[in-house]
């Protein structure tokens, strides 16, 4: 029996029971809290077998006897065990992935995303954050938990392998089961017609390189009132109705506090590192001898889940203190060189930390790339004034500087963060791993000398302008503390040149 025959047998039995009960499609749909289209599709065998909850609703609405219920459930199981449907790329096409490692932390982000999709009434939620922050893992977790609440379950589409905007709709249609695996082109109207009556959650993973096709998501949502979309992207889609939720790195132990081993073990970044280290090295354990080193590793890697997983893999040959020493070595880019090995089933862009950074970097315009490289010269971040002074290497055709707009774009793309200090001063911050990558690119593009010279000149002028006032008085003291690393780097460069 083919998959189509199995579905037809289930549909024929469902139709028989409906007619015996004297019910129309509309009446049965009302009793079962389903749509008439769903009932019709099930009876005609054009829809996949019903979800377990849907089947239970049908059984109750039809008031089937025990024997009739058993027959209908048996028909549903046969349909499920039939050969794969030719409209999908395999039995699991579009299925929500199952991860083999433990989901750790993210309680707050998980709660916020669930609330936004459930009680918040949002139909489009975009999880944004830097590469390697765990957006995809969070989206899959949310979909797994919410799947039973959607009549037609949840579907998943991975867009990282999709190279062109024209291929987005076919990829989504295949995940939804409304296009053949070899379909090169799909009509939007046909996709909407097939999905219009579904109550379904769709996870669209890794949208950042295809943002020009974002209006397609709006069109699907407008045409399919029961569809809810959860997107992951390093930048927001910027379409109507979008709710953006940022997925930051995991919390890390504060480096300026002496915490007990028990207190250190409560941080999600530490728990993730220990869990992944244990899977690589079964004898690894967090104890009083290595707790501070593990805490420092998590802080050194900014709590970035991908970086933590790659670092944990190195505990097979390095103790935590030895690993920290290598990460903190004076050789620039040490983390990028050290964190280069991951599981073979990881996507290519996540095999190494550098690959993840390069994926984001390649999505930038040439001007944005140069700005990101230039920002890496700052240690501990910078103010807007400092960025405009040091990175003002180019102006737009209308004469306006590119730095302000460029900072806004890098902020939207999760490559920099905005931090507000105690005195209200805003600073642009790069994750340390992003800064290492930027410095590496500065050298590769022969721009390090220019950037360092401009950086030193700015801070020399700052000292000449404020003099001793920079280190006296409450506001200036706070500023000098924030600029401590920049002042140190500028002084060192001036002494050598």
User: pLDDT per residue over 132-154, tens digit each?
Assistant: 899 999 999 999 989 888 988 99
- The CATH number covering residue 55 comes to 1.10.260.40
- Measured CA to CA in angstroms, residue 9 lies from 20, 32, 80, 88, 287 at distances of 17, 21, 12, 20, 61
Which of residues 255 and 81 earns the better pLDDT score? 255
- Give, for 154, the enclosing helix (H) or strand (E): strand 154-158
d(CA 192, CA 173): 9
Q: Which residue has the tokens 């089947």?
A: 55
pLDDT of residue 3: 47
Tokens of 158: 């991975």
Does residue 211 fall inside a structural domain?
yes
Is there a single domain that holds both residue 117 and residue 229? Answer: yes
Does residue 86 fall inside a structural domain?
no
Tokens of 222: 């407008």
**Reported confidence tier of residue 422, pLDDT bands at 50, 70, 90:** low
Query: Of all residues in the chain, what percent carry a pLDDT higher than 70?
Result: 83
Does residue 201 fall inside a structural domain?
yes
Does residue 316 fall inside a structural domain?
yes
Is there a single domain that holds both residue 236 and residue 305? Answer: no
> Residue 29: which residues within 8 A CB-CB, separation 6 or more?
35, 36, 38, 39
pLDDT of residue 475: 53
Which of 81, 116, 132 terminates a domain? The answer is 81
Alpha carbon of residue 444 to chain centroid? 29
Is there a single domain that holds both residue 436 and residue 339? Answer: no
Q: List beta partners, residue 203.
A: 156, 230
pLDDT of residue 81: 42
- Give, for 149, the enclosing helix (H) or strand (E): none
Domain count, the chain: 4
User: pLDDT per residue over 211-250, tens digit each?
Assistant: 999 999 999 999 999 999 999 999 999 999 999 999 999 9
β-pairing, 417-420 vs 154-158, is unpaired
Which of 189, 223, 246 terminates a domain? The answer is 246
**Reported confidence tier of residue 481, pLDDT bands at 50, 70, 90:** low
Does residue 176 fall inside a structural domain?
yes
pLDDT of residue 284: 94
- Give, for 126, the enclosing helix (H) or strand (E): strand 124-128
N- to C-terminal Cα separation, the chain: 81
pLDDT at 86 over 50: no
Is there a single domain that holds both residue 115 and residue 198? Answer: yes
Q: Which residues of 56-93 are buried (b: 16+ CB within 10 A; e: fewer)?
A: ebbbebbebeeebbeebbebbebbeebeebebbbeeeb
Per the confidence metrics, is the pTM higher than 0.75?
Answer: no
d(CA 161, CA 164): 9
Question: Three-class SS string for 269-286?
Answer: HHHHHHHHHHHHCCCCCC
**Mean pLDDT of the region 163-173:** 91
d(CA 396, CA 371): 14
Q: How many CA atoms lie within 13 A of 272 on its CB side?
A: 26
Pseudo-torsion of CA 169, 171, 174, 178, nearest 10°? Answer: 0
d(CA 213, CA 199): 23
Does residue 301 fall inside a structural domain?
yes
Domain region containing 467 = 364-496
Beta carbons of 290 and 321 less than 8 angstroms apart: yes
Degrees, nearest 5: CA angle 150-115-102:
80
- The CATH number covering residue 375 comes to 1.10.10
Does residue 308 fall inside a structural domain?
yes
Is there a single domain that holds both residue 240 and residue 307? Answer: no
**Reported confidence tier of residue 351, pLDDT bands at 50, 70, 90:** low
d(CA 309, CA 369): 27
DSSP E strands: which ranges in 413-494?
A: 417-420, 426-429
d(CA 277, CA 83): 41
């Amino acid at each position: 029996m083919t998959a189509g025959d199995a579905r037809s047998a289930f549909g024929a039995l469902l139709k028989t029971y409906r007619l015996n009960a004297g019910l129309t499609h509309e009446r049965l749909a009302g009793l079962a809290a389903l749509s008439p289209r769903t009932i019709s599709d099930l009876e005609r065998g054009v829809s996949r077998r019903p979800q377990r909850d849907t089947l239970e609703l049908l059984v109750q609405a039809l008031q089937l006897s025990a024997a009739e219920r058993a027959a209908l459930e048996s028909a549903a199981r046969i349909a499920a065990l039939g050969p794969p449907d030719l409209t999908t790329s395999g039995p699991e096409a579009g299925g929500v992935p199952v991860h083999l490692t433990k989901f750790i932390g993210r309680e707050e982000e998980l709660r916020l995303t669930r609330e936004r999709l459930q009680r918040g009434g949002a139909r489009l939620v975009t999880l944004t954050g830097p590469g390697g922050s765990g957006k995809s893992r969070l989206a899959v977790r949310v979909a797994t938990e919410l799947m039973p609440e959607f009549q037609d379950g949840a579907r998943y589409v991975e867009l990282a392998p999709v190279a062109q905007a024209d291929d987005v709709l076919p990829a989504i249609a295949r995940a939804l089961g409304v296009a053949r695996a070899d379909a090169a082109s799909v009509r939007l109207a046909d996709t909407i017609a097939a999905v219009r009556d579904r109550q379904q959650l769709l996870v669209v993973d890794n949208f950042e390189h295809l943002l020009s096709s974002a209006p397609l998501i709006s069109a699907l949502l407008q045409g399919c009132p029961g569809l809810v979309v959860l997107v992951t992207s390093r930048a927001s889609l910027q379409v109507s109705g979008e709710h953006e939720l940022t997925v930051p790195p995991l919390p890390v132990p504060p480096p300026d506090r002496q915490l007990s081993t028990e207190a250190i073990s409560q941080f999600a970044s530490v728990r993730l590192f220990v869990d992944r280290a244990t899977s690589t090295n079964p004898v690894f354990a967090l104890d009083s001898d290595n707790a501070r080193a593990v805490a420092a590793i998590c802080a050194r890697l900014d709590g970035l889940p991908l970086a933590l997983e790659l670092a944990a893999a190195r505990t097979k040959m390095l103790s935590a203190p030895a690993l920290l020493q290598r990460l903190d070595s004076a050789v620039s880019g040490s983390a990028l060189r050290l964190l280069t090995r991951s599981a073979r089933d990881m996507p290519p862009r996540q095999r190494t930390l550098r690959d993840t950074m390069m994926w984001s970097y390649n999505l930038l315009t040439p001007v944005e790339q140069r700005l990101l490289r230039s920002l890496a010269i700052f240690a501990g971040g910078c103010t807007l004034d400092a960025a405009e002074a040091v990175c003002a290497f180019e102006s737009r055709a209308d004469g306006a500087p590119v730095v302000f707009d460029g900072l806004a774009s890098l902020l939207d793309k999760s490559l920099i963060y905005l931090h507000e200090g105690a005195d209200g001063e805003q600073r642009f911050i790069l994750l340390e791993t992003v800064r290492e990558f930027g410095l590496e690119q500065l050298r590769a593009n022969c721009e390090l000398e220019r950037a360092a010279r401009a950086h030193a000149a700015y801070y020399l002028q700052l000292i000449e302008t404020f003099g001793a006032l920079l280190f006296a008085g409450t506001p200036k003291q706070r500023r000098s503390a924030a600029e401590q690393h920049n002042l140190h780097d500028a002084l060192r460069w001036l002494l050598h040149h």
